[in-house]
A and B are shown apart, each in its own frame.
Chain A
Amino acid sequence: MLTSLGGVLFDGFAYGMLLFLLSVGLSVTLGMMNFINLAHGSFGMLGGYVTVTLMDRLGWPFLATLPAAFVAAAALSVVLERLLFRHSYRAGELDQVLLTIGVVFMSVASAAYIWGTVQQPVQLPDYFTGSFTFLGVNFAYYRLFLIGTALVVTLLLVAGLEWTRFGAQVRAAVDNQRMARGLGINVNLAFAITFALGSGLAGLGGSLAIAMVGLDPDFAFAYLVYVLIVVSVGGLASIGGSFAAATVLGISDIAGKYYFPALGSFLIYLVMVGVLMWRPAGLFGKR
């Protein structure tokens, strides 16, 4: 019983980190810029396809494709941000939702056109398959890697946004745009970079996720719900909140499936409803 608890905690935490990596980018764009970017999943999907294409067609090693996925998603997002999204920064929430969900539909159709409707094979390198057992708990290598990556991403983000000059500029631009402009901060540039960062993280999350959850053109929609749950439970604008929310949701989901399989995936929603009733702004939400 105790060893199974250890296993459940580990698997749940790793699953939570997968959710975190998928959603942390949205926490950045939504929280920092107040822009509801439902096309987040599309950038994740792009990251996934970049990884698969580089590995399958060009024979790149898996790890080398991860930065490429980040860069590709970030680059495309800058183009879209300059062409489309920046015009609706000051628009209402409904307008932003409609615009970005339209982009999701287009991305799904584009992915089906370019890569076909077929499920993409994702072959992890040998050192990531399998697991070892310690104190009766089964530790899968890839899950350990996910946890490590998530921790590094969290540290870099928190440090970057809290302690660097650029982080301060972004926070100033969000809090009071006119004042920030008056002080000579290039708000457009700060927003473009933040948006690229968020989308790049989505691309990274996508390319890390596909080894666990698979990849087809439906990806952009399939994980949108989970991503939104993590961000809303964690509280907007809070990297730490997303981290905590993803951990709670991942562990409760795996524990529910292990101990009460009849409840199935219901528990994750129950936790979400419970947390939001207790704290409507999310675990770490300020508003």
Chain B
Amino acid sequence: MSKLFIAASSLAAALAAAAPAYSQGTIKIGLIMSYSGQFADPAAQMDNAVKLYVKQHGDTVAGKKLEFIRKDTGGIAPPLAKRLAQELVVRDKVDIIAGLVLTPNALAVGDVSAEAKKFTVIMNAATAIITTKSPYMARTSTTLPQLNETFGTWAAKKAGVKKVYTMVSDYGPGHDAEGAFQRGFKEAGGEIVGSVRMPVANPDFSAFVQRAKDINPEAIYVFIPGGTQPSALGRALAERGVDTAKTKIFGMGELTEDEARKTMGDASLGIVTVYHYDHNHQSAMNREFVKAYNAEYNRNPNIYAVGGWDGMHLIYETLKKTKGNTDGDALIAAAKGMKWESPRGPISIDPETRDIVQTVYIRRVEKVGGQLLNVEFDKVENVKDPFKARMKK
């Protein structure tokens, strides 16, 4: 009964709120992120980029002042995320919901976005189906299949690897990444010689790495969450003497983020990863972005930052297009098909799926001027989310 009541009242309040919010001089944006807990750093990166965007572009769009309301989910907490979204809509009367670092939280917010007809910008959560939960959602990060299926195909066709062993963390995104990589790889003629799913909380990787080494595949594909794990895995790889010249290491970009490379040291040399952004991306716009971000926060931006930056860009540009109209239908219509130049390269919002279309980069860890960097050496342009392309068929 209480659930029904909350849903009904949130809907009613949302409808009531839509009209006055439109006529007032402010636009309220609710940011739902994991500001504390295990995933506090991605949220910090993203929030920094949001602040930097507002600082550079001013807090007034289409003649209206922007107001931000920040809500902390403290980690993976779908019921809390949903309640926070309801509070934002009903009590704070926000016009736009944004942020959303984690998939379970983003999925939970989907219902609220759909019922309250609120334009919602997913700035990170990367499971493919999220944007199907609400017709008012758009995404400015990536999807796991977009990166990993593309990578699988690339590994078989361009890298000429035929036999791969996969090791992924045993949770939703890990399964998605495993499935996507294996699909792309097998469809391009590769063979999976073995696979393992590792516990998400895993302080010591030596057993898994030893097992992979015993099988002696041409390449090992790894997907593990960012944070403490990449360094732990890197340590195990270095210890076991896995030589990237003999056994290729493939992974998603988390594996070779800044802190992980520093911890791994030279053991990270030669690891090939797929990602949609790195602060080492060579473009004038990115150099400027990295410089500004460093000046403000004294560290390099990462994918969470660029997701937040482009999310803000999408919000600003759609509001300009609707002349400040915050109606969910008007905003999502404005977002569809929008194209722009991001620090990561050219990106656009797919008019059919409201998901991001972008260039997928293949990088290798190399030593440049004494520094270990992710150096882009190949790319696949204009990649749409392959999962949703299949859903249509």
Contacts and interface: CB of A to CB of B under 8 A. Distances in A.
B238 A129 contact: yes
Contact of B207 (A11, A211, A226): A11
A223 B38 CA distance: 13
B227 A216 contact: yes
B239 A140 contact: yes
Contacts of A138: 210, 239-241
Given A213-B204, A261-B198, A7 B210 contact: yes
B263 A121 contact: yes
- Of listed B36, B204, B210, B226, residue having the most chain A CB within 10 A: B204
A214 B207 contact: no
Interface string A95-130: 000000000000001001000111111111000011
A222 B225 CA distance: 15
Contacts of B320: none
Contact of B228 (A112, A216, A253): A216
A109 B35 CA distance: 11
Contacts of A255: 207
- Of listed A8, A11, A118, A119, residue having the most chain B CB within 10 A: A119
Nearest to B38: A218
A11 B206 contact: yes
A215 interface: yes
B7 interface: no
Contacts of B198: 257, 261, 264
B202 interface: yes
Given A212-B204, A213-B232, A129 B259 contact: no
Interface in B244-285: 258-260, 262-263, 265, 267
A214 B263 contact: yes
Contact of A130 (B43, B196, B199, B241): B241
Contact of B259 (A8, A120, A213, A264): A120
Contacts of A7: 210
A169 B204 CA distance: 39
Contacts of A222: 38, 201, 228
B265 to A, nearest CB: 6
A117 B40 contact: yes
Given A117-B44, A216-B41, A264-B197, A254 B204 contact: yes
Contacts of A118: 41, 44, 259, 299
Nearest to A131: B239
Interface in B43-61: 43-44
B3 interface: no
Contacts of B263: 121-123, 214
Nearest to A213: B203
Contact of A214 (B36, B44, B231): B231
- Of listed B43, B210, B299, residue having the most chain A CB within 10 A: B210
A112 B40 contact: yes
A143 interface: yes
A114 B362 CA distance: 35
Contacts of A211: 235
A214 B40 contact: no
Nearest to A264: B199
A117 B197 contact: no
- Of listed A121, A124, A226, residue having the most chain B CB within 10 A: A121
Contacts of B228: 119, 213-216, 218, 222
B37 interface: yes
A143 B235 CA distance: 11
A188 interface: no
B111 interface: no
Contact of B214 (A4, A123, A124, A253): A4
A218 B204 contact: no
Contacts of B202: 265
Contacts of A123: 262-263, 265
Interface in A236-264: 253-255, 257-258, 261-262, 264
Given A15-B204, A264-B199, A214 B211 contact: no
Given A7-B210, A123-B265, A116 B44 contact: yes
Contacts of A109: 36
Nearest to B170: A264
Contacts of B299: 118
Given A131-B241, A254-B207, 13 more contacts: A15-B204, A118-B41, A119-B259, A130-B238, A138-B239, A142-B239, A212-B232, A213-B203, A214-B231, A216-B227, A222-B201, A257-B207, A264-B197
Interface of A: 4, 7-8, 11, 15, 18, 109, 112, 116-124, 129-131, 138, 140, 142-143, 211-218, 222-223, 226, 253-255, 257-258, 261-262, 264-265
8 contacts: A117-B44, A118-B259, A129-B265, A142-B239, A226-B203, A257-B208, A261-B196, A265-B202
